[in-house]
Chain A
Amino acid sequence: MEKFYLNENEYPEGVSSITKFDTGEYPSVVDRYFTRFYHKKTSEDGNENEDHLILYHSNRVCLIGLAQSHIAFKKGIVGITYNIGNCDRSLNQVKGKHKKGGMNLQPLTTLAIITCKDGSEYKVLSCVTGKLIETNDRLKGNLNKLSIEGSGYVAIVLIKPENCEKAKSSLVSEKDYIPSCSF
């Protein structure tokens, strides 16, 4: 291992080595850039947790995905499709700085449908009003990624500046969040 040690004498006088940087309380990538919000949802009979996780960036970019408590993770996910009612979300394309051409989304717009081992299907909803920027084609061959916070995003949605406050107030903050059906 010694041969890999960084030579820290190369720094000029008065300039501290990068290793002196205090890494003590350094937050994770998600914690650095995003605020967690939740959309609470249960199945029609009220027995199953279908909660969504929304990672909200201060620049209005949102990553939409499933909360850890979503029932699908317990059942085991075997498929995901962005093809909803003959409209394939994964073909969504945006152009230019203003993201022209992105699909307009309402909170209840379905982004994708996931299928579980037992054949049951769950909709992934947009949860916010905004524009569809990107879907996550890396999930297809790697469904266990869905449970990883961040990498498991189903879609990236951009909220208009004037809709941000409304969007946040319609969601549950991390502090107030109690998973659905956790009785």
Chain B
Amino acid sequence: MDFILISDFLDEIGCCRICTLRFLKPNIDDFLDVENSLKSKGIPINQQCKHETKRPKTNTCVACFNVFNFIDEIIMKVKSSEWLKHYEVKRFVTSYSLPVSLDLAQLQIWLALIEKFPNMFDSERPPDISIKDVMKNILNTKLSDDLHKEFHPDGMMINIFFVIDNEPEMMTKLESVAPELMVERNKQRKKFRTEIVSRNYFEKFFIPKNIKLEKFRQEFSVPPQEPSSALQLEKITFTGPTVFVAGRYNKFSRALSQSPWILNGKRITEGSVQEVIVDAIASYFKVSESSMTFMSSGREDVDVRCLGRGRPFVLEIMNSAKTFLDPSSAVQMEEKVRKSNVVAIRDLQMIPRDDLRHIKSGEEDKKKIYRALCTVDSDVTVEILERLNIEKEFEIQQWTPLRVLHRRTLMQRPRMIYGVKAFAVKDKPNLIVLDIVSQAGTYIKELVHGEFGRTTPSISSLIDMEIDIVALDVMDIDLNFPKSLNRT
């Protein structure tokens, strides 16, 4: 590849030194010292050099619209931002919103390069290292030094927005140069009421392979002319990282739902486990309650308590200001939740995103231990109790319960019951307490009364008499996640 010829051409059409280097197959690190990298590619520094690396604003680069001139301004603005104090994080990433005009300019140069150097540039593979990648490389290195933070994908995001005047006007011309490429886009636009073309759409479809040069030249010059409108740094925003906090919760009330129970805009029950927990945690991470998502390992009906070690849960916290949870703050949160008297949490800790799988997958492998309070019509006998002390595991077949049939598929599911223990209650002869160890996903109420024969065998069919369940507690969920902290 003849770098000098290409470099001369790019220089002539009005590319800055950084952009010239972008088209000379560089490594990404070459941009940390542009002149030296150009030199090593055989481009002399004084080679009819009309243009400086940083051009004066009157002389705008046709490829990048002088976007690289903003680097110092960006660093200055980031460093002086109030948000840096808000986000107590040690890592950062940057994201860029650049006008589509820059993609158009790239296409114009690309077409010109193919015309001029037909054997050196491909019509599908981009001819350059993108502006975004170069910006990232330069800025991330500088910001990392200036902010004393590490560049890392899990960090807070610094979003840098550029805009340009007259862009929409220019974009309408795309329709006339490549109407066939706009068919799909116009469908999307009708649906989503979005901009004429997005960067993604442009980059995917507007490539030389899909463009008829003659037609394209009717609206756009190849190579491009000096831009008539200026690029502006519109704003810089910050987004905190997404973090995950896990724990286990107890629910002591039979009137409290796990998540807010709202039907047709009306609240059915007051409060919820989720709200109590979120309320105790949100302020530490400096987020609103709506940026937290509550997940748990299964759920039960409202009237079921959750005792014992409790149910594992995870909170996904978006735009978090912190990436750590110190033990004393965690204990404070646990104490605050306990004051609700209906919910308690324990083992509160940060977890990596990967650990979500413990909550999300393998639902059917988990064992759950329940305690059910049941009534029988006659007095409980030793014979009944003995029949219901079952150490050997057995399988049941359970049709989708009638109470959820309207929204779930009708099917018969096999479920394992790993053991049953039966207890009598002093002075209450018609009550039986059953401790049941079952495969997760078993409908316990139906397992007890049999639901008109739709669950078989059932506790009712095993003792061949009517038995009904009046109260149910989860005593344990056999999942060792998150790890026990033994804090209290």
Contacts and interface: CB of A to CB of B under 8 A. Distances in A.
Given A18-B433, A33-B402, A61-B402, A94 B470 contact: no
B307 interface: yes
A95 B341 CA distance: 44
Interface string B422-464: 1111101001010000000000000001011100000000000
B423 A6 contact: yes
Interface residues of B, number: 35
A135 to B, nearest CB: 12
B418 interface: no
A150 B452 contact: yes
B160 interface: no
Contact of B405 (A6, A29, A61, A151): A61
B410 A23 contact: no
A41 interface: no
Contacts of A21: 373, 470-471
A4 B453 CA distance: 28
Nearest to A19: B425
Nearest to A158: B406
Contact of B385 (A4, A33, A94): A4
Interface of A is mostly: loop
Contacts of B409: 95-97
Contacts of A11: 307
Contacts of B452: 63, 150-151, 153
Contacts of B408: 97
B375 interface: yes
Contacts of A133: 405, 410
Contacts of B449: 29
Of the candidates B408, B452, B470, the one having the most CB atoms from chain A within 10 angstroms of its own CB is: B452
A57 B468 contact: no
A27 B425 CA distance: 20
A27 B159 CA distance: 59
Query: What 5 pairs between A and B have smallest CB-CB spacing?
Result: A6-B423, A21-B471, A59-B406, A151-B452, A4-B424
A15 B307 contact: yes
A134 B410 contact: yes
Interface in A147-168: 150-151, 153, 156, 158
Given A5-B424, A5-B426, A94-B410, A23 B375 contact: yes
B467 to A, nearest CB: 10
B406 to A, nearest CB: 4
B468 A28 contact: yes
A6 B424 contact: yes
A15 B252 contact: yes
Interface string B336-349: 00000100000000
B471 A18 contact: yes
Contacts of A59: 402-407
Given A1-B382, A4-B382, A153-B452, 5 more contacts: A11-B307, A15-B252, A26-B375, A59-B402, A158-B406
Contact of B406 (A18, A61, A134): A61
Nearest to B303: A21
A60 interface: yes
B425 A6 contact: yes
Contacts of B367: none
A26 B373 CA distance: 12
A128 B424 CA distance: 44
Contacts of B410: 94, 99, 133-134
A66 B382 CA distance: 37
A138 interface: yes
B385 A57 contact: no
B426 A18 contact: no
B453 A138 contact: yes
A19 B252 contact: no
Interface in A1-56: 1, 4-6, 11, 14-15, 18-19, 21, 23, 26, 28-29, 33
Interface in A61-78: 61, 63
A55 B410 CA distance: 19
Interface string A72-94: 00000000000000000000001
Contacts of B424: 1, 4-6
B371 interface: yes
